[in-house]
Structure 1
């Protein structure tokens, strides 16, 4: 056996066993092996013995914890910024001072982090902004060292939302910059029609996340995207049930698997939290449940079964030894009419039928169930708000909401960092069920939560070598693989001889204009003018033309219509506030919409009919259409190439006749687009969705049924249906589409 000291960590090497790393905990030696004395008893307790089964260790530790300590495990920290600034929604201080005033290193712990770890026993921390890989690794080491010094020595489980999406990355491919590799967004990965590539993606994500100390991924989003107007459509793997199941299975399997481990779990594993049970896709009228006006999921096609397929045949049926995704997140939605037991229309986490009866009992899921963020606080009195989503249980107290979710089988509360409501829920539960029963129920959650920390090897060695973290994160191999995946995700749907533009020519690229609109948090965004691509990057391929007249071809960047489903102006004018979400650019009158909404009812409204029939929907980026039409007029017979950033299926009828080529981008770096336009790469992606013929077919489709719209037929006779795509030789027919026949 050998002992090493490096970057402030002492590592004890076990022959044939895990490394034992510590910054302060005492070491026990037994049977010629090293163990941590995390409890400080001087004796080897079962939870400290890495030779035992994880389940046995988790149960032993859970049984030793106080209710306060268990409650802390059920919490999630606020979003953490590393380093923390003095202002904004998630500020932090260092010894009561700002970072600059304190002189603290960027990876030091804030006062707030120390408080919620020690005082509230929080062990699940959500990392939002990490300055770079080195800072992330050193901050992780500080967190783990602090946690190790506290009673029981329970490590911290750092989690993160997706970081690898290429649409928000820099314009050009690069590696070694301390950031993670960049890959296609969810729909872009689906456009490759390759679960094998998705598996490769998961491998890169797990290695880079673990290098930064992250051990839980708050993804993948495995919702079946059946509703084309949904704002979260682009983060899914598309609309085909079998494809979404295959992609989700491959992704979760690669995220969680440590190779050559009998259980699949170990030092390379990343716990996956698949979302959103039982599927967030069928939102009525496309309105999203982040907002009270979009809280209802509806099933006019009686098609819950397809929405469960990514779970039952995907993330619950992994090919590797980890078996199932380690955690599940229910969505905010009220899944209207699904409760066959109690007939209650409440948010999914509050539904006994959906969580306990279906998820836990019928389908036997025993992993962590974590609510989506912010569902337990009291609601805002304003329906057009970004606030608590305690849908259907607004009349309960905050503690009673926690208890109801716990009774249903929920283990953890996303976005909740206050311990008091859980402790109050426990007291109410003791009066209702008896202390023994309530203690048993709380321990069940503790076991599930601790199990994931044990699975990742954190009790033995949670520490990182910052130099190795920098080498792994954003390494050349991962960045190159991600960039190649971006190229494979681009879909060419029209090409009348306009592509590729191989020679160095003059290109005209018009600036975009977006009118005023609502932001994600429902604040008002002013109008903005946007240069869609860097001139410096373009000039590596072509000469920049200031006017269409001097250009050889036009490259017009547009995006899917930006449309909102709720209008204060409509409400002020005496309407119900509900308006159409449009997938076309010009104003659209919803004459084909439902006369009566399927779902309705809210304490803030004195009506139940949320219909918008006969009202007009608009797009904040209507000017995108004018860019195409004006370019066509100005360019005359010279090629007009449209690049559509499609975050939702878009009606092409208004602009397709004026385009000589249309390239669909689901979220890639600009360089990938130019590599394809210039012929340095050839398009190979296929549509993972339908592009609808018109808005009438959108209104008539069922929100819960996949691929049930009439697809658009273009002027060349091609139909923009699921699995359609072109390469330089014409329609792609390489066998991938046969893998996923249209339902």
Structure 2
């Protein structure tokens, strides 16, 4: 693996000679503290190396865990170009192969990094990848990793022990393959029911989001960052939930973030706690605050990453945060994906050129540019005197310190055999399946049909595999021949376009198509009907509740887990309110967590075996 042999001092101390000068330099000396080592290294770096630290872009794994020499499906450049040519060493990875292949690829990238002048190791990051949703702008399905409910499902359980097991699974599996930074947890409040990013939040309760967010961070990082840690990124500061009309700020039509209910403090609360808990990084949201006043001062209407009042005034000065501030993706340049061009998310500063946007991000207090690799733009800003080298040093110091604390300078490599043993261990997979089943939430059970006992019944299913349904009985092909029908539905949304990212985001109306309740009622004429709705965001469920005998909600549960849930394991509670109608949704303040008169309130969930309807 490593191309750098261990050298030995005359008194017998072994070290990695990262810069190849034959001398034990302080930054190579494991006996010194991370702050002292960081300061020594910073003084040795050339400007190009410092600049490279300030970029965090996407690279991809090649076939079989090889290094991709050229651009990939999403990555803009080949890995050697960005690591060696541009001196970049923070990377978000998308698709990964098996655990062994992921470890092999990580090691190959670290070997490449060893050829740079000071051997600065690479930090590999990822969006969440232990659930069911596959969205290249937000998360990845579990694949070879253990599969758990989405964070919304963890919140539905409300069980700190389950949360701790989930966090440990994430940490241990990430570390095994060399992923040392998580672009999560998402600490946004799910306050706007139409917003597309709720599945990865811990729901709408500010207290629970705060408690679970901090506990998850501790599970990733430990009490302090070390060689067994994953550096967490709390996002999206200062709270990404209150989007105008529920539209997502990835897109120009969703750039406005509004606070008509005056609830800004509730959205900020989880981030206050994350700062106190020592989160390694914080990511401001794309959103542009509109009509937001803080301490009698109107906040500039520019995206949060560009917003000095928010990043420096609120985060750095008021909250006392001195960790890494990583921008969300592609705030500087337009993003070219195939033949599509997606505009830079420079909301409120669209008129600035890339150099002007970058200058403003640094002036606001950000340290690192997400999704960018244009090192030449920053070099030009320094050469022209628009950005000082001292300003670059301030961010480079923070970024190097995280690498030092993670132990990457001492040993960035992982063991392929250990990775294969660790990722997807049977007991962890079983724990994830248990959590999937338990997180299912019974919303209505009019006749006390649940829990289902035995398997002496004929079952008709939709949206569920035949194999999974066989746990409930003999599967038949027609509802006319069934004793029970089980139908799985996705929460409603309005498809927008085939644009990259936009096609994957569920936005718009929460109403089901008007014909759905009619079709469900016809199924119910033949046999009792159980409906499961995967709630990646709330839905207007009244018509479905009227059309079914049993309605349950799931938040990332496979077919086998749903079968177990219906047989008695479901114990979830709603992590957000369900609205009565779209009229109520439109009248609702986007920053208000919950409704004054919901159809079903947050915390609702029926104990199995107790017949109950809806209020």
State TM-score, norm by structure 2: 0.90
- The alignment status of 1:202 with 2:151, answered yes or no, reads no
- The alignment status of 1:353 with 2:309, answered yes or no, reads yes
- The alignment status of 1:326 with 2:280, answered yes or no, reads yes
- The alignment status of 1:507 with 2:459, answered yes or no, reads yes
Structure 2's unaligned 5+ residue stretches are 136-141, 500-506
Q: 2:26 aligns with which of 36, 46, 54?
A: 46
What does residue 686 of structure 1 align with?
A: 573
Q: 1:458 aligns with which of 388, 405, 408?
A: 408
Deviation at 1:31, TM superposition (A): 4.6
Contact 2:451-2:609 within 8 A present in 1 as well: no
Structure 1's unaligned 5+ residue stretches are 1-7, 9-21, 99-108, 170-176, 258-262, 319-323, 511-531, 569-579, 587-621, 713-719, 733-743
Contact 2:29-2:37 within 8 A present in 1 as well: yes
Deviation at 1:150, TM superposition (A): 2.1
Contact 2:6-2:14 within 8 A present in 1 as well: no
The two structures, once aligned, show a CA RMSD in angstroms of 2.8
Show the 5 A alignment for 1:76-87.
Answer: 76-83=56-63
Show the 5 A alignment for 1:117-132.
Answer: 117-132=83-98
* SS of alignment partner, residue 56 of structure 2: coil
Cα 1:458/1:408, change in 2 over 3 Å: same
Contact 1:489-1:684 within 8 A present in 2 as well: yes
Deviation at 1:317, TM superposition (A): 2.6
More helix by share: 2
Contact 2:65-2:104 within 8 A present in 1 as well: no
Report the Cα distance in structure 1 between the residues aligned to 2:10 and 2:516, rounded to whole angstroms: 70
More deviation in 111-120 or 683-692?
111-120
Cα 1:566/1:37, change in 2 over 3 Å: closer
What does residue 249 of structure 1 align with?
A: 214
What does residue 160 of structure 1 align with?
A: 126
What does residue 33 of structure 1 align with?
A: 13
- The alignment status of 1:558 with 2:450, answered yes or no, reads no
Question: Higher Cα Rg: structure 1 or 2?
Answer: 1
- The alignment status of 1:368 with 2:324, answered yes or no, reads yes
What does residue 504 of structure 2 align with?
A: none
Contact 1:178-1:470 within 8 A present in 2 as well: no
Deviation at 1:409, TM superposition (A): 1.2
* SS of alignment partner, residue 316 of structure 1: helix
Report the Cα distance in structure 2 between the residues aligned to 1:426 and 1:302, rounded to whole angstroms: 41
Deviation at 1:509, TM superposition (A): 2.1
Contact 1:133-1:469 within 8 A present in 2 as well: yes
Deviation at 1:230, TM superposition (A): 0.4
Contact 1:123-1:156 within 8 A present in 2 as well: yes
Q: How far does the alpha carbon of each residue in 1:344-372 deviate from its partner, in whole angstroms, 9 at most, with x for none?
A: 20111111101111111111111111111
Q: How far does the alpha carbon of each residue in 1:275-334 deviate from its partner, in whole angstroms, 9 at most, with x for none?
A: 100111000111110110010110001111000111112x1232xxxxx11001111100
Q: How far does the alpha carbon of each residue in 1:693-735 deviate from its partner, in whole angstroms, 9 at most, with x for none?
A: 22222122211111134211xxxxxxx2111111224399xxx
* SS of alignment partner, residue 43 of structure 2: helix
Contact 1:327-1:369 within 8 A present in 2 as well: yes
What does residue 437 of structure 2 align with?
A: 487
Show the 5 A alignment for 1:462-541.
Answer: 462-495=412-445, 496-502=447-453, 503-510=455-462, 532-541=463-472
State TM-score, norm by structure 1: 0.75
Report the Cα distance in structure 2 between the residues aligned to 1:337 and 1:451, rounded to whole angstroms: 37
- The alignment status of 1:631 with 2:520, answered yes or no, reads no
* SS of alignment partner, residue 155 of structure 1: coil
Report the Cα distance in structure 2 between the residues aligned to 1:62 and 1:403, rounded to whole angstroms: 22
Contact 1:84-1:93 within 8 A present in 2 as well: no
Contact 1:82-1:136 within 8 A present in 2 as well: no
Report the Cα distance in structure 2 between the residues aligned to 1:507 and 1:153, rounded to whole angstroms: 61
What does residue 236 of structure 2 align with?
A: 276
Contact 2:54-2:367 within 8 A present in 1 as well: yes
Report the Cα distance in structure 2 between the residues aligned to 1:657 and 1:196, rounded to whole angstroms: 36
* SS of alignment partner, residue 374 of structure 2: coil
* SS of alignment partner, residue 93 of structure 2: strand
Deviation at 1:197, TM superposition (A): 2.0
* SS of alignment partner, residue 584 of structure 2: helix
* SS of alignment partner, residue 272 of structure 1: strand
Deviation at 1:672, TM superposition (A): 0.3
Deviation at 1:178, TM superposition (A): 8.1
- The alignment status of 1:267 with 2:227, answered yes or no, reads yes
Q: 1:294 aligns with which of 240, 245, 254?
A: 254
Deviation at 1:342, TM superposition (A): 6.7
Q: 2:363 aligns with which of 393, 396, 407?
A: 407
- The alignment status of 1:309 with 2:269, answered yes or no, reads yes
What does residue 70 of structure 1 align with?
A: 50
Report the Cα distance in structure 2 between the residues aligned to 1:451 and 1:700, rounded to whole angstroms: 47
Contact 2:492-2:511 within 8 A present in 1 as well: yes
Cα 1:342/1:308, change in 2 over 3 Å: closer
Report the Cα distance in structure 1 between the residues aligned to 2:31 and 2:120, rounded to whole angstroms: 18
What does residue 657 of structure 1 align with?
A: 546
Report the Cα distance in structure 2 between the residues aligned to 1:541 and 1:670, rounded to whole angstroms: 11
Task: Report how many residues are paired.
Answer: 590
Contact 1:559-1:624 within 8 A present in 2 as well: no
Report the Cα distance in structure 1 between the residues aligned to 2:5 and 2:165, rounded to whole angstroms: 37
Report the Cα distance in structure 1 between the residues aligned to 2:523 and 2:220, rounded to whole angstroms: 45
Report the Cα distance in structure 2 between the residues aligned to 1:300 and 1:336, rounded to whole angstroms: 10
Report the Cα distance in structure 2 between the residues aligned to 1:379 and 1:473, rounded to whole angstroms: 33
What does residue 109 of structure 2 align with?
A: 143
What does residue 233 of structure 1 align with?
A: 198
What does residue 138 of structure 2 align with?
A: none
Show the 5 A alignment for 1:638-717.
Answer: 638-677=527-566, 679=567, 681-712=568-599
